[in-house]
Amino acid sequence: MINVTKAYLPNREKYKSYVDQIFDSGQITNHGRFTKELTNRLAHYLGVKNLLLVSNGTLALQVAYKLLELKGDVITTPFSFVATTSSLVWEGLTPVFVDIDKNSFNMDPQKIEERITDATSAIVPVHVFGNPCNVKAIENIAKKHRLKVIYDAAHAFDVKYKSESVLSYGDVSILSFHATKAFHTIEGGALIIKDDELFEKAKWMINFGIRGPSHIVGLGINAKMNEFQAIMGLCILDDMDYLYQARRMRHDRYVQALQGIRSIELPEWNPFGSDNYSYFPVLFESESTLLSIVEDLKRLDIHPRRYFHPSLESLNYVTPQEVPISSDIARRILCLPLFGELDAVNQDCIIDVVRQRTS
Ligand SMILES: *Cc1c(COP(=O)(O)O)cnc(C)c1O
């Protein structure tokens, strides 16, 4: 069986040797040695400061909203994983959707200003599939209207914008280290926080509001990463170069085989952005073509995913809004399986099915 992605597992003996060290020390969570080590190594690897590890990406978003004291309406994209919007609603905020650009699939900056009102407190864009948003345009709009910006960068691990980390944009960027992502800690995530004081505040916010041995300085929650998550991250970080090359090869193979087909479209990449090759989205001419491909692949026990479907304005807990480009693209887009261990024979099967149904 082949799914859209496969969680990478590092060398078993290496993971076990870390587990032994955890058993020997007895410290299994609460800012242990390995969580600290992963924090330092990741900050260095990504080229960012003020990185805070947390237990998952959704909590990273929720902590970011609380940290920046968002209220009222928040402008966001309807074309994302559900957590971008559900986390807003969960925190009592109202998502206001701005439609996406039909080529990049990211929030269209030209449509942001018309949705800003006195009730707007922030913008939450997504670098969808790791393709950097137009960060400069978003920055200018945010400055002009004094809005906070939180990037849901769950897909953008180690993505560069003009050769610097895209994670340094916005007041906060968040990452997800879920098993399906480019880099993972089983479950996990991180906040990258621009302001040093807010970074200090976030540290106690993720620990029940407790600072030092027992001083409660404010309202907090439990969003701590544990040591078993951290050691998975340490093991996988050693393998990132290999994983990146392996995904890149398979990505390029898809591009070679599919780019000549006139009835399909691949995302238009930000010319200043790098790619981490963690997704291979393909936009088909119609939903029926997509469904026939899904059916054909299912018979071969190959399971791509409809990332992202449905478009989030259709959720039953948001007020209906018109975002025609997102709702159209969400029906026609499919992410083909892409991971380091995808073998050439299976990839050829996928390519053949797509070719047959699109020509
Ligand atoms: C995976 C993902 C999240 C949620 O992260 P978790 O670590 O699974 O909680 C949020 N936003 C986007 C865009 C994602 O893809």
> 167-193: per-residue pLDDT in tens?
999 999 999 999 999 999 999 999 999
Closest CA to 273 of 138, 155, 176, 130: 130
Domain boundary, last residue among 237, 258, 292: 237
Answer yes or no: do 166 and 244 share one domain.
no
| 199 CA to centre of ligand 1 in angstroms | 21
Q: What is the pLDDT of residue 58?
A: 98
Work out how many domains the chain is built from and give that number.
2
What's the CATH number where 326 sits?
A: 3.90.1150.10
Whether 2 is in a domain gets the answer: no
Residues contacting ligand 1 via CB (< 6 Å): 56-58, 80-81, 83-84, 126, 152, 154-155, 176, 178, 189
Q: Atom 2 of ligand 1 has which residue's CA nearest to it?
A: 154
- Ligand 1 atom closest to Cα of residue 176: 7
Whether 258 is in a domain gets the answer: yes
Reduce the DSSP state of residue 149 to 3 states and report it: strand
- Ligand 1 atom closest to Cα of residue 56: 7
pTM for the model: 0.98
Q: Under a CB-based contact definition with an 8 Å cutoff, are residues 251 and 277 in contact?
A: yes
| Structural domain boundaries, residue 244 | 240-358
Answer yes or no: do 212 and 283 share one domain.
no
Burial class from Cβ neighbours inside 10 Å (0-12, 13-18, 19+) for residue 271 reads exposed
Answer yes or no: do 147 and 279 share one domain.
no
- Ligand 1 atom closest to Cα of residue 177: 7
Whether 176 is in a domain gets the answer: yes
What does 92-112 look like in DSSP terms, one character per residue? T-EEEE-PBPTTT-SB-GGGT
Answer yes or no: do 213 and 257 share one domain.
no
Answer yes or no: do 261 and 225 share one domain.
no
Q: What is the pLDDT of residue 212?
A: 84
Whether 1 is in a domain gets the answer: no
Domain boundary, last residue among 199, 215, 237: 237
Q: Which one of the listed residues 148, 160, 181, 201 is annotated catalytic?
A: 181
Q: What is the pLDDT of residue 2?
A: 87
Q: What is the pLDDT of residue 4?
A: 86
Domain boundary, last residue among 202, 237, 272: 237
Can you give the C-alpha Rg of the chain in angstroms?
A: 21
Q: Under a CB-based contact definition with an 8 Å cutoff, are residues 64 and 76 in contact?
A: no
Answer yes or no: do 211 and 268 share one domain.
no
Note if 194 is an active site residue.
no
Answer yes or no: do 170 and 290 share one domain.
no
Q: Under a CB-based contact definition with an 8 Å cutoff, are residues 163 and 190 in contact?
A: no
| 83 CA to centre of ligand 1 in angstroms | 6
Reduce the DSSP state of residue 164 to 3 states and report it: strand
| 81 CA to centre of ligand 1 in angstroms | 7
- pLDDT per residue, tens digit, the chain (359 aa), is 888 888 999 999 999 999 999 999 999 999 999 999 999 999 999 999 999 999 999 999 999 999 999 999 999 999 999 999 999 999 999 999 999 999 999 999 999 999 999 999 999 999 999 999 999 999 999 999 999 999 999 999 999 999 999 999 999 999 999 999 999 999 999 999 999 999 999 999 999 999 988 899 999 999 999 999 999 999 999 999 999 999 999 999 999 999 999 999 999 999 999 999 999 999 999 999 999 999 999 999 999 999 999 999 999 999 999 999 999 999 999 999 999 999 999 999 999 999 999 98
Whether 326 is in a domain gets the answer: yes
Q: What is the pLDDT of residue 187?
A: 98
Rounded (10°) angle between helices 344-358 and 240-258: 30
Omega before 310 within 30 of 0, i.e. cis: yes
